[in-house]
Amino acid sequence: MIKTRIVSTGSYLPENRLTNFDLEKIVDTSAEWIVERTGIHERRIGTKDEAASDLAYEASKIALKKAGLKAKDLDMIICATVSGDLPFPSTACLLQNRLDAVNAASFDVSAACSGFIYGLYLADNLIKVGARKRILLIGVDMLSRVTDWDDRSTCIIFGDGAGAVILEPSKDESGIMSTDIRSDGSMWDYIQVPGGGSRTPFSKECLDKKLQFVRMKGNETYKVAVKTLESIALETLEKNNIKASQLSLLIPHQANIRIIQATAKRLGLPMEKVMVNIEKYGNTSSASIPIALDEALTSGRIRKGDYILLEAFGAGLTWGSSLIRW
């Protein structure tokens, strides 16, 4: 069966840096606590003029340029985001307009930090069955927009960013070997934005109670993440008859350095084989994997023939992993 390959990547991070020392001045925290408990030193925060589609546009332009393609060559745009420009229409449609990608059917995917893996699952299968030939997949989030800057348990974690990939049918053995996605809605309230939807529409009361901001049961989420990431990674590897020791690189969602280290340890992977950039960008939600993939490629950490595993975990709860032969 034909495989889907990633033809090119691009990423974009807003210029504005928010360091742990800046956060010390905003909430009751310390730079030391943040580094020790999360691995984050700083994160990027979009300016008030930047929205998700702007970040996605910059990342997409780079991916298109690297692939030597024009936007009209795309036949689909999938945007993984939970912090799009507007409740509707989709950020993918806004991006389509901005790029002038006239031939692309465009829609968003909502799976929070797992959104990119969910999008990859969709794009891969659509290409494999021959329904689409060239898909632009973007992970973009600006969780700074739903951050309560008085809540020290969440405001230290998130950052804004976007990563893009272009997918096409592969001409050889390289490409996505398989992607697994899962969810467990019984833990829907572990990470949520309670207000602004049809359950609790925006109102003065909603704003007074700060329901427009993200709430997270961090510790409970952490425990589920470590367990599920190991099991789904092993499932994807076993399905393809590949051992963890054969992986050249693990590219995990950058949620917390301790989750990344625990997963690597459970898989028996040394940290040299794990892509980490959480110290620079924090948790950029659905953007973290495509940004890390773009950086891994740019810095020469991926070579033709390498086995690469991507894995993510997020609100929903959702999780997934994808094995790629480069």
Residues that bind ligand UT7 (CB under 6 A): 29, 33-34, 37-38, 113, 152-153, 156-157, 218-219, 221-222, 225, 255-256, 259, 283, 313-314
Q: 54: Cβ–Cβ under 8 A, 6 or more apart, which residues?
A: 46
Lookup: tokens for 83: 């912090």
- Closer to ligand UT7 by CB, 61 or 152: give it: 152
- Closer to ligand UT7 by CB, 177 or 181: give it: 181
Contact by Cβ (8 Å): 285, 314: yes
Q: Please tell me the distance from the alpha carbon of residue 98 to that of residue 65, in angstroms, as a whole number.
A: 15
Find the shortest distance in angstroms from Cβ 312 to ligand UT7: 8
Please give the positions annotated as active site: 113, 253, 283
Find the shortest distance in angstroms from Cβ 241 to ligand UT7: 30
Find the shortest distance in angstroms from Cβ 220 to ligand UT7: 8
By DSSP bridging, strand 135-142 and strand 105-109 are: unpaired
CA angle 78, 117, 314 (to 5 degrees): 110
Single out the residue of 66, 62, 46, 134 nearest to residue 99, CA to CA: 62
Contact by Cβ (8 Å): 307, 323: yes
Q: Please tell me the distance from the alpha carbon of residue 304 to that of residue 325, in angstroms, as a whole number.
A: 8
- Closer to ligand UT7 by CB, 93 or 112: give it: 112
* Buried/exposed 101-121: b ≥16 CB within 10 Å, e otherwise: beebebbbbebbbbbbbbbbb
Q: Tell me the residue nearest to ligand UT7 as measured from the CB.
A: 218
- Closer to ligand UT7 by CB, 222 or 326: give it: 222
Find the shortest distance in angstroms from Cβ 34 to ligand UT7: 6
Contact by Cβ (8 Å): 83, 141: yes
Lookup: tokens for 272: 């040299």
Find the shortest distance in angstroms from Cβ 221 to ligand UT7: 4
Q: 129: Cβ–Cβ under 8 A, 6 or more apart, which residues?
A: none
Quote the distance between the C-alpha of residue 102 and its chain's center.
26
- Closer to ligand UT7 by CB, 108 or 141: give it: 141
- Closer to ligand UT7 by CB, 214 or 269: give it: 214
| DSSP tag of 29 | -
Find the shortest distance in angstroms from Cβ 298 to ligand UT7: 24
